[in-house]
Amino acid sequence: MRTFSFALVTALALGGCDVFESIESPDPVAIPITAVRIADLPERPNRTTEWDDDGTGPDIFVEVQNTSGASIGRSEIVPDVDVTSPFTIKLPSDLVTRDDAASLYVVAYDDDGNRLTATRLGGSEAFTVRQLAAASDSLLLVDGRSENGRETTYSVLL
């Protein structure tokens, strides 16, 4: 019994606490994304309105979101984008998630000065860090809704 107790105390002293901590909060998993290339975004939300009220192209920023719609990371705003051609927007390089199998989404918005009221332009189907790890240099995603009768694509660049 004395030997057993000694072994247990030694195990706890050497690394037991680390084991418990790693169960409670797993290490962050890097999301290896550098940019997203968006093609075939609808030119306008419907026949009578424009994305931007002032008649210029939308001022686009992109978020990587989790399944709750919470932002994991956000790009800079690119003003007056010509959406008739594919365009690429850089993403921060330090994005992390808690689970390499958790669903992530790329969502594009038009900024009008207040991020909370930004217009959603479109968003990708779900992807995971595991899928990114298996991809060579990019992962092609389609619009998760295709609500505008046109299939927007989101190429996530590694």
Give contact residues for Ca ion (rule: CB under 5 A): 52, 56, 59, 80, 110, 112
Residue 97: CA atoms inside 13 Å, Cβ hemisphere, count?
21
Tell me whether residue 59 or residue 63 sits nearer to Ca ion (CB atom): 59
**What residues contact 155, with CB distance under 8 A and at least 6 apart?**
36, 37, 38, 39, 138, 139, 140, 141
Tell me whether residue 80 or residue 147 sits nearer to Ca ion (CB atom): 80
Tell me whether residue 52 or residue 143 sits nearer to Ca ion (CB atom): 52
Rounded Cα gap, residues 155 and 136, in angstroms: 12
Q: Which tokens sit at 124?
A: 């990708």
For the bound state, the minimum distance from the C-beta of residue 79 to Ca ion, rounded and expressed in Å, comes to: 6
For the bound state, the minimum distance from the C-beta of residue 25 to Ca ion, rounded and expressed in Å, comes to: 38
For the bound state, the minimum distance from the C-beta of residue 33 to Ca ion, rounded and expressed in Å, comes to: 24
Rounded Cα gap, residues 43 and 63, in angstroms: 20
Give the residue nearest to Ca ion (CB): 56
Tell me whether residue 80 or residue 99 sits nearer to Ca ion (CB atom): 80
Residue type, 157: L
For the bound state, the minimum distance from the C-beta of residue 55 to Ca ion, rounded and expressed in Å, comes to: 8
